[in-house]
């Protein structure tokens, strides 16, 4: 689907409002709430779980789209791997308590996910990487391995939080990750400007929201108002992801309905054609059977005696192929299906039995 040209300006304006508004609003809570603590681990875990489910479902959907050949350059495969890593990291973040490992999982999630997304700028990279069918399994394994190490050996990992504030290392990873997301957003913005595709516009909005939330996380402390604001930004990105999946489901459903309608029409047309063909064949079969009967009947009446037969002019015997003279009745019976029954004609009866001729005739 595409966005009409008359709405392109409004779409771009909305994108600018999202970008600037999100950044400006992220500063306001400091003036309104003055660093108030809003600790709620259950809400935090719920948001992480929601994000994990959205990311993994999106990964599976995009992977199927890639296998269907929806994008020639393999962008959907790169996006699928990025969402897969983010989903797995979100799962582990949902079950971990806020602390060093928790923030580290967030940073790893954003960095690796953004790295996959930014690869769309490399022409054909997705198609080249997707040649190996083992890549999705390898990405899932590496993600789980990194998460387990991050939670198991928290003390050996770089410090991400000191006195409730993010360290320089955490801020650096956040900024780098945010820039990777913004790079992916710019790629799809360019695609939107070229084609006006609603799909490209939606991806642009998603990556802008996620990129801003990643960059703004460096300005926040755990449980402060800023901390929750960038969670809300990511929540809006998840809503956009769910919307995309819902629209994709509706589009696939409509395509299946159209395919079923076309197939039903083709089946009906083919059935009608087969019915006509069967009727014609039955008619031809009946005509063939009648012709066979007629031929068999004609064959039964065909005289098998042909050619010149040497016959005695006196006794009427016939000379056979062996030179023997055979009585005419015997010869005809041997060379045809005819049978003889004997009687007397009127002339012979009068000649042989004149005394009873008058009584018989």
The two three-digit tokens of residue 30, written as one number: 């400091």
For residue range 202-248, list pLDDT tens digits in order: 888 888 888 877 776 655 555 566 666 666 777 778 888 878 878 87
Residue 110: per-residue pLDDT: 87
Chain segment 80-117, per-residue pLDDT in tens: 999 999 999 988 888 776 555 677 888 888 899 999 99
Residue 359 to residue 207: CA distance in whole angstroms: 128
pLDDT, position 222:
59
Who wins on pLDDT, 3 or 231? Answer: 231
288-321 pLDDT, tens per residue? 888 888 777 766 655 555 667 788 777 777 777 7
Q: Specify the pLDDT at position 229.
A: 66
pLDDT digits (tens, 9 = 90+) for 138-171: 999 999 998 888 877 776 776 666 666 677 787 8
pLDDT digits (tens, 9 = 90+) for 320-332: 777 788 887 777 7
pTM, two decimals, is: 0.66
- Res 120: pLDDT: 92
- Residue 139 is predicted with a pLDDT of 93
Helix (H) or strand (E) holding 165: strand 165-166
How do residues 237-283 score in pLDDT, each as one tens digit? 888 887 887 887 788 788 888 888 888 888 888 888 888 888 888 87
DSSP 309: -
Contact call for residues 163 and 35 (beta carbons, < 8 A): no
- Cα–Cα distance for residue pair 9/101, rounded to 1 Å: 43
Q: Are 94 and 101 within 8 A, CB to CB?
A: no
Radius of gyration of the chain (CA): 47
Q: What is the pLDDT of residue 17?
A: 66
CA distance 62 to 77: 7
Phi, psi of 274 (to 5 degrees): -65, -35
Q: Which residues are registered as beta bridge partners of 325?
A: 319
DSSP state of 14: H
Predicted pLDDT of residue 239: 80
pLDDT given at position 349: 73
Q: For the chain, what are the domain ranges?
A: 5-264, 318-360
User: Is the separation of the CB atoms in 231 and 22 below 8 Å?
Assistant: no
Section 345-350 average pLDDT: 76
Indicate whether 2 pLDDT > 80.
Answer: no
Q: pLDDT tens-digit profile of 7-60?
A: 566 666 666 666 666 665 555 555 454 555 566 667 777 777 888 888 888 888
Would you say residue 187 has pLDDT above 90?
Answer: yes
């Amino acid at each position: 689907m595409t966005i009409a040209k008359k709405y392109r300006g409004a779409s771009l304006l909305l994108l600018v409002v999202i970008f600037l508004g999100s950044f400006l609003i992220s500063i306001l809570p400091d003036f309104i709430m003055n660093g108030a603590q809003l600790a709620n681990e259950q809400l935090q875990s719920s948001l992480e779980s929601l994000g994990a489910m959205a990311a993994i479902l999106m990964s599976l959907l995009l992977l199927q789209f890639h296998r269907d050949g929806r994008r020639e350059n393999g962008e959907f495969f790169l996006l699928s791997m990025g969402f897969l890593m983010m989903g797995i990291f979100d799962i582990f973040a949902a079950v971990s308590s806020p602390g060093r490992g928790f923030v580290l999982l967030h940073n790893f999630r954003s960095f690796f996910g953004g790295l996959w997304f930014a690869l769309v700028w490399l022409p054909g990279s997705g198609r080249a990487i997707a040649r190996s069918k083992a890549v999705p399994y390898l990405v899932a394994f590496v993600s789980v391995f990194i998460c387990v190490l991050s939670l198991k050996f928290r003390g050996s990992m770089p410090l991400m939080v000191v006195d409730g504030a993010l360290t320089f290392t955490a801020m650096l990873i956040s900024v780098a990750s945010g820039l990777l997301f913004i790079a992916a957003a710019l790629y799809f913005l360019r695609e939107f400007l070229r084609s006006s595709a609603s799909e490209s516009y939606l991806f642009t909005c998603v990556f802008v929201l996620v990129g801003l939330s990643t960059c703004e996380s460096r300005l926040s402390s755990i449980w402060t108002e800023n901390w929750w604001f960038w969670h809300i930004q990511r929540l809006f990105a998840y809503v956009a992801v769910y919307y995309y999946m819902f629209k994709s489901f509706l589009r696939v459903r409509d395509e299946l309905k159209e395919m079923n309608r076309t197939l039903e029409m083709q089946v009906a047309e083919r059935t009608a054609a087969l019915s006509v063909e069967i009727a014609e064949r039955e008619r031809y079969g009946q005509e063939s059977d009648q012709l066979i009967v007629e031929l068999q009947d004609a064959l039964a009446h065909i005289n098998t005696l042909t050619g010149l037969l040497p016959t005695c002019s006196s006794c009427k015997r016939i000379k056979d192929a062996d030179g023997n003279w055979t009585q005419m009745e015997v010869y005809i019976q041997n060379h045809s299906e005819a049978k003889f029954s004997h009687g007397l004609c009127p002339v012979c009866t009068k000649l042989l039995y004149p005394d009873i001729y008058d009584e018989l005739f």
